[in-house]
Amino acid sequence: MRHFLDLADFASEDLHAIIDSAITLKDEWCKGGNPPLLRGKVLGMVFQKPSLRTRVSFDVAMQHLGGHAIMLGPDEIGLGKRESIADVARVLSGYTQIIMARVFAHQHVVELARWSRVPVINGLSDAQHPCQAMADILTIREHFGHVAGLRIAFIGDGNNVAASLGQAAAHFGAHFTLASPAGYALPEETLEGIAEVARHRGGSVRVFHNPLEAVRDADVIYTDTWVSMGQEAEASVRREAFHGYQVNGDLMRAAPNHAVVMHDLPAYRGFEITDDVADGEQSLIFQQAENRLHAQKAILLQLMQ
């Protein structure tokens, strides 16, 4: 059975097929609606952390495809606390046809998948955010008409969003640049994995410390919060460490005029990004958020058909 935990598990062709399907599903939806291909199917949504986009877009995606979603928040299941992950997986597999989980430790979603009899989707773990990256690729493709050969510069924390974006960039033949302060880059192993895929697909990976250097030839400038969910206690240390990594007007002036700005949201305006840039003409942030809906429909169908 196929799960959707980490883009590193996929062949590039499978991910290209998901994006093609997302484009068709979006077009269909805009012209009147999607066929009810998931009629009678139920998605179980397990959340250990808060969410706006992931929770609502998966729920609405199931509704548009004729199915239903059940929300199971942190206080309802107590994943791994009230009940073991293995038991939750086996019980939920008896009621639902697919599970999406947002967890702290990546190992928790791996464990869920190990015991589940239905496909499991990673709706964000501390290591990966693969659904976000697919919506981002869809957005980049819509804007530029292609992804291969583009230069995507991630400025900030080498976290879950950066990891999945880097992997997606490699699968789609884009060049990925990361600019992070010392101690906050992506793990070496993750960078090597991205570089390996990039080598086969015509892309590349670069790591800088200087954000101005990283955006000099960028087509896409991407950032994410400096303080991810679960890191709240480190907020002041992190905000200090990321000083100089803000995506603001000065950084945009160092980039080509045609560069676009992306952020997975929620944005902490005034920290990793300024209002003028987030709301400026080069920003794609709300198109990205909307595209979570369309990309997720394609992921659900890929796993369930």
Cβ 140 to ligand CP shortest distance, Å: 16
CA dist 88 and 96 (Å) reads: 12
Q: 174 phi and psi, to 5 degrees?
A: -95, 165
Cβ 49 to ligand NVA shortest distance, Å: 7
Closest residue to ligand NVA, judged by C-beta, is 228
159 binds, among ligand NVA, ligand CP, none (CB under 5 to 8 A by kind): ligand NVA
Cβ 161 to ligand CP shortest distance, Å: 8
Cβ atoms 246, 272 nearer than 8 A: yes
Rg (CA), the chain: 19
> Is residue 95 within a helix (H) or strand (E), and if so which, with residue range?
helix 85-95
CA dist 78 and 75 (Å) reads: 6
Sorted by sequence, the CB contacts under 8 Å of residue 280 that are 6+ apart come out as 252, 261
User: Counting contacts by CB under 6 A, is residue 124 touching ligand CP?
Assistant: yes
* Residues from 28 through 67 that contact ligand CP (CB under 6 A): 51-54
Q: Site for ligand CP (CB under 6 A): which residue of 59, 111, 157, 264?
A: 264
225 binds, among ligand NVA, ligand CP, none (CB under 5 to 8 A by kind): ligand NVA
224 binds, among ligand CP, ligand NVA, none (CB under 5 to 8 A by kind): ligand NVA
CA dist 290 and 139 (Å) reads: 9
For residue 118, give the nearest of 94, 137, 102 by alpha carbon: 94
Q: Where are the beta strands (DSSP E) in the chain?
A: 42-47, 68-72, 98-102, 120-122, 151-155, 175-179, 204-208, 220-223, 260-263
Given the complex with ligand NVA, which of 118 and 138 has the nearer CB atom?
138
66 binds, among ligand NVA, ligand CP, none (CB under 5 to 8 A by kind): none
Q: Site for ligand CP (CB under 6 A): which residue of 34, 132, 167, 274?
A: 132
Q: Which residues pair with 14 in a beta bridge?
A: none
Given the complex with ligand CP, which of 198 and 220 has the nearer CB atom?
220
Residues that bind ligand NVA (CB under 6 A): 124, 159-161, 224-225, 228-229, 264
For residue 224, give the nearest of 127, 157, 128 by alpha carbon: 157
Given the complex with ligand CP, which of 59 and 111 has the nearer CB atom?
59
Cβ 53 to ligand NVA shortest distance, Å: 7
52 binds, among ligand NVA, ligand CP, none (CB under 5 to 8 A by kind): ligand CP
CA dist 285 and 265 (Å) reads: 8
Q: Within a 13 Å sphere around the CA of 123, how many CA atoms are in the beta-carbon half?
A: 31
Cβ atoms 48, 108 nearer than 8 A: yes
Cβ atoms 181, 207 nearer than 8 A: no
Place of tokens 């305006």: 269
Cβ 110 to ligand NVA shortest distance, Å: 17
Cβ 122 to ligand CP shortest distance, Å: 11
Given the complex with ligand CP, which of 52 and 235 has the nearer CB atom?
52
Cβ 286 to ligand CP shortest distance, Å: 12
Q: Which positions from 265 to 284 touch ligand CP by CB under 6 A, shown as an x/- string?
A: xx------------------
59 binds, among ligand CP, ligand NVA, none (CB under 5 to 8 A by kind): none
